[in-house]
A and B are shown apart, each in its own frame.
Chain A
Amino acid sequence: GENVEQHPSTLSVQEGDSAVIKCTYSDSASNYFPWYKQELGKRPQLIIDIRSNVGEKKDQRIAVTLNKTAKHFSLHITETQPEDSAVYFCAASHPVNYQLIWGAGTKLIIKP
């Protein structure tokens, strides 16, 4: 079936450094790739998304890149800050029923 793999499961970076989280998807027909951030004890919230007709999208310190040939997309966070500490989920849209297929999540830890 459709699958999204997310790596790493935990990422620890020094404050001010960059963080990169990568996801791979199985169906080349997927066309929507969102990223959600979930702070401890809170609900997931969309931070950025990208569609298959675009290779990169940026919003201040956050960017997402999409490589359709390799079927992977990545979240890039630059100049990390303590408030970036959270669990990040990637997802890809199912090409038939349009439901999201979720990665297992990455716990990002920002070290002071």
Chain B
Amino acid sequence: EAQVTQNPRYLITVTGKKLTVTCSQNMNHEYMSWYRQDPGLGLRQIYYSMNVEVTDKGDVPEGYKVSRKEKRNFPLILESPSPNQTSLYFCASSSAWGGNSPLHFGNGTRLTVT
């Protein structure tokens, strides 16, 4: 089944404790992206990747890191999480550049930072 898989689905952590949210897609998509979703603010892009080893900042990249060492994986890293990073996170992939073809979203990761 074609899908984007995020793990974990739920994560509660404390301020400053490094964490990684994994994202993997099995559709051989070139493009992957991370979003955060907060009430009233819609979807805001954190980082995106057009291809392996190519990553770019989105609208809200501060406090996040990403890597794209393999085509299928695009982990999101929070080196020192803070409470304002409490949010619902979505990974997405697309066969093209994301702005011109359908995005396939993962099921989301709900992160709480205390």
Q: Is A104 an interface residue (CB 8 A)?
A: yes
Task: Write the A96-110 contact mask toward B (1 if CB under 8 angstroms, else 0).
Answer: 011110111100000
Assess A44 versus B43: contact at CB under 8 Å? Given A97-B56, A99-B58.
yes
Question: What's the Cα separation between A103 and B99 when bound, in Å?
Answer: 14
Q: Is A14 an interface residue (CB 8 A)?
A: no
Q: Would you call B42 and A105 a contact (CB within 8 A)?
A: yes
Question: What's the Cα separation between A31 and B96 when bound, in Å?
Answer: 14
Question: What's the Cα separation between A105 and B101 when bound, in Å?
Answer: 20
Q: Which residues of the partner chain B approach A104 to less than 8 Å between Cβ atoms?
A: 40-42
Q: Which residues of the partner chain B approach A43 to less than 8 Å between Cβ atoms?
A: 90, 105-108
Q: Is A46 an interface residue (CB 8 A)?
A: yes
Interface residues on B, range: 20 to 34
Q: Is A18 an interface residue (CB 8 A)?
A: no
Among B42, B44, B90, B98, find the residue whose CB has the most chain A CB atoms closer than 10 A.
Answer: B42
Q: Would you call A102 and B105 a contact (CB within 8 A)?
A: no
Q: Which residues of the partner chain A approach B102 to less than 8 Å between Cβ atoms?
A: 34, 46, 49
Q: Is A85 an interface residue (CB 8 A)?
A: no
Q: Is A25 an interface residue (CB 8 A)?
A: no
Q: Would you call A100 and B105 a contact (CB within 8 A)?
A: no
Question: What's the Cα separation between A97 and B33 when bound, in Å?
Answer: 13
Q: Would you call B105 and A32 a contact (CB within 8 A)?
A: no
Q: Would you call B97 and A98 a contact (CB within 8 A)?
A: yes
Q: Is B27 an interface residue (CB 8 A)?
A: no
A51 to B, closest residue via Cβ: B100
Contact of A99 among B40, B41, B98, B101 (CB under 8 A): B98
Q: Is A45 an interface residue (CB 8 A)?
A: yes
List residues of A whose CB falls within 8 A of some B CB: 31-32, 34, 36, 42-46, 49, 89, 93-94, 97-100, 102-105
A-B contact pairs, 7 of them (CB 8 A): A45-B105, A97-B56, A99-B33, A99-B48, A100-B45, A102-B44, A105-B42
The list of the 9 closest CB pairs from A to B, nearest first, reads A98-B99, A93-B99, A43-B105, A104-B42, A98-B97, A46-B102, A32-B100, A102-B43, A102-B42
